[in-house]
Chain A
Amino acid sequence: MKGAKNDFRPLSYLQPGRNTKVSETMSFIPGQPVTAVVQRIEIRKLRQGEHLILGFSIGGGIDQDPGQNPFSEDKSDKGIYVTRVTPEGPAEVAGLMMGDKVMQVNGWDMTMVTHDQARKRLTKKNEDVVRLLVTRKSLEQAVKHSMM
C-alpha cells in the first residue's frame, strides 16, 4: 500500500514536546483516523563495515500475524513495533524503547505497511538520519497526568 498515505486515511498526530493535548486513546479501527501521542526520535545511523545500522529490531506489518505481537494492546493492530533495542546502539542513545510503535519514518507512514516496506524505509542507504515518530502507552499516561 504505497500510496496509502495519500489515500483514504488521514492521520493526525499531535506533536509532543511537553505540552500536548490528547483526548483519544490509541485505538485502531481500520479506515478511521488514528490519534496518538507521539514522541519524535532522531537516530543517527552508525556505520558498521559497509552497513548503516540503527540498532533495533522491528516486528509487525500488515502481512504479519498481529496476534503474536507481545507489545500491542489491541491484538488486531498490524503496526510496526520495536521488538528489541541493542544496548548502547544509536537507537537506545536516541531514546527508543522496546515496545514502541513506529508511526512515521522520515515522513513516511508506518501504520499500514508490510514488514518488508517498513524495513526498506528504515534502511535507505542514502539517509544518515532517520526521524521517527513513535508512540507508547506510557506517553499517553504521562500526558493524562500532566493534564490533571
Chain B
Amino acid sequence: PPTACGLCQSPEQAPPPTGQDCPQAPAASACGKAQQPPRGPWPIAWEEGPRRHGHGVHLLRVLVLLWSLPGIPQTWDDNWGETTTAVTGTSEHSLSQEDIVRITKDLEDSVGLDCRRYFTLTLAVVLGLLVFLTPLAFLALPHLLWPDKLLVCGTACEGLFISVAFKLLILLLAVWALFFRAPRAGLPRVFVFRALLAVLVLLFVVSYWLFYGVRILDSQDENYQGIVQYAVSLVDALLFIHYLAIVLLELRQLQPAFSVSVTRSTDGETRQYNLGQLSIQRAALAIIENYYRDFFVHNPALLTASKSRAAKHLAGLKVYNVDGEFPATPATGPGNNAATGLAHSQSRAMIAAAARRRDTNHNELYYEEAEHERRVRKRKARLVVAVEEAFTHIKRMQEEEQKKAPGDVMDPREAAQAIFPSMARSLQKYLRTTRQQHCHSMESIQQHLAFCITNNMTPKAFLESYLTPGPTLQYGRERWLARQWTLVSEASVTSGLKEGAIFLLKCIDFSLVVTVKRIPYIQLSEEFIDPKSHKFVLRLQSETSV
C-alpha cells in the first residue's frame, strides 16, 4: 500500500526498490525536509538523485491515461537524511499538466473580444440599412412631401422603377453572399480593407444625401424622372462599389505571390504554403487553418526522450564554488570583472570536462532506438492479426435475412462493442509503445470501430488512423489544445507580407515559426518544334586513335 508521502515525485527510471517499504514514521519527517518538488513530465525529477523516497503519483499520467493504473513505484532511499539537493535549471521552467489546463480555461473565459465583435456587427447592420433604404427614400420622399407639384412621368419612369428594383435585389444578394458569413476568426487588428470600404460607402451615401437634400428637397424639384434617374445612378454606383469590394477582399490575394515556410518549434515539422498578397494577420489565419489540416498532431510524449537526454547532460557535471561567494547575477561596474571572469572560467571548465568525459550517449541512443523500432514492429504485427481476426467475427446481414432471423441482430454500436474486447489489449499495448495512448480514449476507439463497420471498411482501413499520426483535425475537439494563438511579429500585423519577414504564432505548447519568401518572377519563352523535324541519322564518323 502506498505511503502518505505525496509531495515528492518518483521518476520512471528509478532504480528498483531495495525490498523495503517506505516506513510511515520517517516519511513524514522526510517530506518535511524535501524542497519544492519539480512538476513536469516525468524524467525531470530523475536528476534530483538522492531525493527519491516515498511514493509519488505522477500527476501527468493520472490526468491523461484512462486505462492504465497510475504507476506507484516505491523506492526507499537509504541516504535521505544526509543529502543536499540542488535545483537545476530545468525544473524552474516546467509546467505541470494542471497548470496548462488552468491557463487554457482562464483564457477561454475572457470576454474582452466579444464587445468588439458586437460593435462591428451593429455598425455593419446600420450601414447596410442605410444603403438599402436610401434609394427607396429618394423615390418615395417627393411623393410624400410635394405630391401635387410632381410631373406625371409615364413609361420611362416605370421602366426605371423596374431597373431600380432588380438592381437592388442583385445588390442584396451580392452583399449577402460576400458579407453575411459566420466570422471564422478574431483578428488582433481591424481589417484594413473592410474599414476603408465602409468609410467609402458612408461618404458616398452621405454625399448623395447632401446633394439630394440641398438641390431636390429644398427646391422641391418637379421633374420626377430626374429624381428617379438620380436614384438609379446611386444604385449603379453601389453596385460598382460592391465590385470593388470583391476585388479588394477576395480576388487580390488569390494569385500566389509568396511562399511561406512554417516550422513547428517542438519537433521541427515543416511545410510550405503559397499565399497571395495578404496582411500578416490574414496570412497568419490562413497558416493556422492549414496547420490544423496538414501538420501531424502535437504529441508531447514523443519529446520526453530528448528532454531526458538534455537533463542527463546537465546533471552530469555540477560546478560548486567552495570558496564562498556566489557569482550571481553580474551587476554593472568595473569591480565586477572578477565575477564574470569566474562565471566564464566555470563554463569553460564544464565544457572541457564534458568533452573529456567518455560520452556514450550516442551509443545508448542508437541501441535504444533500434530496440524501440523492433518492439513497435512486433506489437504492430500482433495488432494487425488481432484486428483482422476480430473483423471476421462480424458479418453484414442482408435485408431478407433480417426479417427471417431477428434473434441476434445487432446495430453497429453493439457489434463494435462485441468485437472490441478481442483486440483491445493488443491495441492498447501498441498505443502505449508508440506513446499515443492519450490521443485515443476507449470511447473514441469504439466509435471509430462502429463507423468502420457501418461503412464496410477493411481492418486495414480501421487501423490506419492508429498506425500513423494524423492531422489535428482527425482527433476530437479536446485535442485541439490551443484555439488561442498569439501573433508575434516585429512588423505591424496589418502591413503586407514582405520578402524575408519572420513572425511567430505562439500557442501554449509550441510555436510555429513562419518565414516568408517571394515567389520569383518567371520568364517563360516559347520554342516551336515542327513535328516533321524529328529526323535521325547514324552517328557521325567517329574516329578513335589506337
Contact = CB atoms under 8 A, between A and B. Distances in A.
Contact of B539 (A58, A63, A119): A63
B546 interface: yes
A74 interface: no
B545 A65 contact: no
Interface in A48-86: 53-54, 56-60, 63-65, 68-69, 83-84, 86
Count class of interface residues, chain A: 10 to 19
B546 to A, nearest CB: 4
Shortest beta-carbon contacts, A-B, top 4? A68-B541, A57-B545, A65-B538, A122-B546
A27 B116 CA distance: 101
A82 to B, nearest CB: 10
A119 B538 contact: no
A62 to B, nearest CB: 10
Contact of B546 (A58, A60, A64, A69): A58
A63 B541 contact: no
A115 B545 contact: no
A58 B543 contact: yes
A18 to B, nearest CB: 29
Interface in B503-546: 537-546
A83 B543 contact: yes
B545 A68 contact: no
Contacts of B545: 53, 56-58, 84, 86
Contacts, number: 43
B88 to A, nearest CB: 66
Contacts of B543: 57-59, 83-84
Contacts of B540: 64-65, 68
A123 interface: yes
Interface in A95-122: 115, 119, 122
A64 B544 contact: no
B296 to A, nearest CB: 54
A65 B541 contact: yes
Interface of A: 53-54, 56-60, 63-65, 68-69, 83-84, 86, 115, 119, 122-123
Contact of B541 (A56, A59, A122): A59
A1 B512 CA distance: 66
Contacts of B546: 53-54, 56-58, 119, 122-123
B538 A58 contact: no
5 contacts: A56-B546, A58-B546, A59-B541, A68-B541, A86-B545
A115 B538 contact: no
Nearest to B538: A65
A34 B540 CA distance: 26
B541 A69 contact: yes
A122 B541 CA distance: 18
Contacts of A83: 543
Interface string B271-295: 0000000000000000000000000
Nearest to B541: A68
Nearest to B545: A57
B142 to A, nearest CB: 95
A65 B539 contact: yes
B331 to A, nearest CB: 75
Contact of B542 (A86, A115, A122): A115
Nearest to A61: B542
A107 to B, nearest CB: 17
Contacts of B538: 63-65
Contacts of A122: 546
Nearest to A123: B546
B541 A60 contact: yes
A57 B537 CA distance: 23
Interface centre among B538, B540, B543, B544 (most CB of A within 10 A): B544
Contacts of A58: 543-546
Contacts of A65: 537-541
A82 B540 CA distance: 16
A56 B545 CA distance: 6
A57 to B, nearest CB: 4
A121 B377 CA distance: 57
A23 B538 CA distance: 34
Interface centre among B538, B539, B543, B545 (most CB of A within 10 A): B545
A81 B540 CA distance: 14
Contacts of B544: 57-59, 115, 119
Nearest to A70: B541
A52 to B, nearest CB: 9
Contacts of A63: 538-539
A64 B540 CA distance: 6
